Structure 1
Amino acid sequence: MKTTLNLAWKSVANRKATAMLTILTVAISVVLLMGVERIRTQAKSSFANTISSTDLIVGGRSGQVNLLLYSVFRIGNATNNIDWKSYQEFAQNPAVKWAIPISLGDSHRGFRVMGTNHSYFEHYRYGQKQPLEFTQGHEFNGLFDTVIGSDVAKSLGYHVGSEIIIAHGISDVAFSRHDTLPFKVVGILAPTGTPVDKTVHVSLEAIEAIHVGWESGAHLGNTPDAKTLRERDFTPNQITAMLLGLKSKIQTFSLQRQINTYPKEPLSAIIPGVALQELWGMMSVAEQALMAVSIFVVVSGLLGMLSSLLTSLQERRREMAILRAMGARPRHVFTLLVLEASVLTSIGIVVGIILLYALLAVAHPLIQHQYGINVAMTSITSHEWLLIGCVQLAGMVIGFIPAFRAYRQSLSDGMTIRI
């Protein structure tokens, strides 16, 4: 077996150009197959790790996926707001342990601005119930203080003490900026791998203050200066959503029903885990389509290898005949060609894995910045090993076809062929 394997290696090395093209084809197939699988699983993991320990998310009457997307992932916009009195009523509910108000709608240079209060820094959890931590500075205290996520600081080069201008709405254009009311960065959060990293955090009062004179949606009124605004009370009138943590999980469904049937205004309360499952269900068709494309690319690569082996087989009939004349039995020739296919597949897999990690190292910052997905450079998972094993097995099976043809060729056929 060792001699046959050595012979198979030398045979592959003797056909370098063809072998390299075959290996590259298999490698690209493996990169696509494992790349799609890794991004799919890491996307799910990133979404699942974004919020932890939150029992209910409450917003204006909406679908639960839409509410989850805009309140947690900063994707899309709210259909309606929540009255501040409603927030206070549910925050003081005997079943509620803590409540985090959220106000959305503004932006800064492509990053979403979120109004909240100190409960956010105290109670918000992500991943495995991990709290938010600061790499620099502290929570906001003043009316025009802001705390920014790690991606905001890194992308825009901000540090504690930097001044930023918030824009009205999602589009950060000159005529929509609150340029007379700059905010001062007082804290930078540690990286979390969640949308928190891409968020500018300000107080709820600051959201109210910067919109004085913008009541109609455009800057038509007079906006007082920062000193004047600091002397006024800016208790919020409305918020976008709220996150609730309950004293007991048993009370979740009871409070959810109470919120969904709230008579004073139409509200929706969702359980984050249930909403995530619905989101995965909606995305399952796209996942299956991507996986099907990846599998077809692998099959295409293996068929390319089969074509190469069959073509070279016609050129190697004399080689096979000489091996037979030197005492090699038909099974030795059969094993030789199967091993050649296995060696080519194995090298292609190794090259593919190396290419995958190289591409991930380059693309990781871009994927995290653009899509908020943390594609970690982790070791190969058991499921990925299973996919690799399937590719290797398929490569061996492909090798059986030219091997069987060589097995049936007679010694005289090989010795009498014209070259």
Structure 2
Amino acid sequence: MRLPLWHLTLASIRNRGLATVLTVIAIALSVALLLGVERLRNDARASFANSVSGTDLIVGARGGPVSLLLYSVFHIGDATQDVSAARIEALRTHKDVAWLVPLSLGDSHRGYRVVGTTADFFAHVQTGDRQPLRFTAGRAFDGVFEAVIGAEVADALGYAPGAKIVLSHGAGDFAAAEHADKPFTVTGVLARTGTPIDRSVLVSLAAIEAIHLDWQGGSRIPGVEIPPQFVQKFDLSPKRVTAALIGLERRSAVFRLQREINTSPGEPLMAILPGVTLDELWRIVGGVERALLAVSAFVVAVGLAGLVATVVSSLSARRRELAILRALGAGPGDVFMLLLLESVLLALAGSGLGVLVLWALSAGLSPWLMAQHGVQLVPRLITPNELMWLAAVLGAAVLASLVPALRAYRYSLADGMTVRL
């Protein structure tokens, strides 16, 4: 007579309640960590890629492509040198260029980067899947001493249109004296994008020139002070810029224009393709990604080892139980399948709970990751790629459960009924 293995398996699991719960929790946490690292890796890469959506070329001073991408788009580090604004503006008239947005970096406000640019920034720069920038309040800057702030700046500092702010000379820990004599008025707040724009203060290129009229060589000129109302008497056309974002009429011309810029005589310039350079950046940090995945896989292995240890340790106490099952008609194969099903069900329960834990953590941590690190972690149950990882975990669980199942298979009826002293 065939014994009801599913009924016996569930009854056996319920009988060992505490050990079962602890084993399921251990597997759930390990699965959540493995899938969480994979999800964070993919979402972080997508968030980085979304920062340069719609931009075909980035042009700056000749140097390293990765460094140009980092300081122009992600505002990490500083340019070794600026380029002449006239040289950049000459590219605007090129037959293949649809739009050009110059950038001037170097100043800051309370730890946030100040980006000097033009009104074209709000018309042409896109994020995500070619999503244009939107204002949640106010408008773009128009006057010299007007500024637009990103969503994170507004939330962290409590700014709204009409707020007065003062810029600092220099960025980060190197910020020097403030431009306190030339305050700015916030005119607009941008919608959150999950990109470095959220952590930026955007002003006009004329404003960058205006606040540095009485500065030279990185410090204020002694005895010289030009009040804000008099700056319009000076030429506020930008002399130098840090980089420029370029969009093309036809993407098929991107390699030709890149080669033309990189080999042009005169002031040395470098044009990079954001997507290609981003892939290069990810190859640099690829070792870290693989290390994180290896650690996560090791944690899963530890969780499965705990599953095996729990089942194996219970075999001695269950030898009488297994012998009774044999006496009632269960064959060695039935005992083998009983132990195998127990381990697989525990692994399935732990994997399912791990997916739910990851979903809850994703939903809870997503706003914080967006606000603090600009990483858009999308709450979701499971993706096709994550299903492959989950299948690998379950496959490993089946292999691991063969150990206790084979031991139970070898127990004979006489061995189970014998009283050991």
CA distance in 2, matches of 1:335, 1:179: 78
Contact 2:182–2:211 under 8 Å retained in 1:
yes
Superposed CA deviations along residues 335-391 of structure 1, whole A, max 9, x for unmatched, are: 111111112111211221222223223332332233221111134110101111111
Moved over 6 A (4+): none
Q: Does 1:85 align with 2:86?
A: yes
Q: Does 1:13 align with 2:20?
A: no
Q: Structure 1 residue 262: deviation in Å?
A: 2.6
CA distance in 2, matches of 1:315, 1:2: 21
Equivalence for 1:358: 360
Equivalence for 1:48: 49
CA distance in 2, matches of 1:260, 1:403: 66
Greater mean alpha carbon deviation, residues 12-21 or residues 95-104? 12-21
CA distance in 1, matches of 2:163, 2:80: 34
Equivalence for 2:279: 277
Matched to 1:244, the amino acid is I
SS at match of 2:203: strand
Equivalence for 1:293: 295
Q: Structure 1 residue 231: deviation in Å?
A: 4.2
Contact 2:55–2:274 under 8 Å retained in 1:
yes
TM-score normalised according to structure 2 size: 0.95
Q: Structure 1 residue 175: deviation in Å?
A: 5.1
Q: 1:274 to 1:153 in 2, by over 3 A?
A: same
SS at match of 2:220: coil
Q: 1:48 to 1:174 in 2, by over 3 A?
A: closer
Superposed CA deviations along residues 268-299 of structure 1, whole A, max 9, x for unmatched, are: 10011111121122122221111111111111
Q: 1:175 to 1:75 in 2, by over 3 A?
A: closer
CA distance in 1, matches of 2:4, 2:106: 71
Equivalence for 1:256: 258
Equivalence for 1:337: 339
Equivalence for 2:324: 322
Q: Does 1:232 align with 2:234?
A: yes
- Give the fraction of aligned pairs with identical amino acids, expressed as a percent: 46
Gaps of 5+ in 2: none
Equivalence for 2:158: 157
Matched pairs, number: 419
SS at match of 1:316: helix
Q: Structure 1 residue 223: deviation in Å?
A: 3.2
Contact 2:359–2:381 under 8 Å retained in 1:
no
Q: Structure 1 residue 103: deviation in Å?
A: 0.6
SS at match of 1:318: helix
CA distance in 1, matches of 2:36, 2:399: 24
Q: 1:201 to 1:282 in 2, by over 3 A?
A: same
SS at match of 1:176: coil
1:306 paired residue among 305, 308, 322? 308
SS at match of 2:107: strand
Q: Structure 1 residue 174: deviation in Å?
A: 8.3
Equivalence for 1:57: 58
Q: Does 1:135 align with 2:142?
A: no
Q: Structure 1 residue 129: deviation in Å?
A: 1.6
Q: Structure 1 residue 212: deviation in Å?
A: 2.3
Q: 1:219 to 1:6 in 2, by over 3 A?
A: farther
Matched to 2:239, the amino acid is N
Q: 1:223 to 1:348 in 2, by over 3 A?
A: farther
Contact 2:26–2:303 under 8 Å retained in 1:
yes
Superposed CA deviations along residues 66-96 of structure 1, whole A, max 9, x for unmatched, are: 1111111111111211101101111112221
CA distance in 2, matches of 1:273, 1:400: 47
CA distance in 2, matches of 1:120, 1:292: 42
Contact 2:169–2:175 under 8 Å retained in 1:
no
1:108-147 paired onto structure 2 within 5 Å: 108-147=109-148
Matched to 1:418, the amino acid is R
CA distance in 2, matches of 1:417, 1:111: 75
CA distance in 2, matches of 1:117, 1:174: 24
Equivalence for 1:391: 393
Gaps of 5+ in 1: none
Q: Structure 1 residue 110: deviation in Å?
A: 2.0
Matched to 1:256, the amino acid is Q
Equivalence for 1:72: 73
Superposed CA deviations along residues 209-240 of structure 1, whole A, max 9, x for unmatched, are: 11222222123443322212244331111000
Superposed CA deviations along residues 82-119 of structure 1, whole A, max 9, x for unmatched, are: 10110111111222111000011111122111010011
Greater mean alpha carbon deviation, residues 357-366 or residues 58-67? 357-366
Q: 1:356 to 1:278 in 2, by over 3 A?
A: same
SS at match of 2:37: helix
Contact 1:51–1:72 under 8 Å retained in 2:
yes
Q: Structure 1 residue 173: deviation in Å?
A: 8.2
CA distance in 2, matches of 1:2, 1:81: 80
Matched to 2:269, the amino acid is L
Matched to 2:379, the amino acid is M
Contact 1:109–1:172 under 8 Å retained in 2:
no
Equivalence for 2:104: 103
Matched to 1:281, the amino acid is R
Contact 1:167–1:173 under 8 Å retained in 2:
no
CA RMSD across the alignment:
1.8
CA distance in 1, matches of 2:307, 2:313: 10
Contact 1:137–1:187 under 8 Å retained in 2:
yes
CA distance in 2, matches of 1:14, 1:396: 22
TM-score normalised according to structure 1 size: 0.95
SS at match of 1:97: strand
Matched to 1:77, the amino acid is D
CA distance in 2, matches of 1:112, 1:370: 15
SS at match of 1:191: coil
Equivalence for 1:377: 379
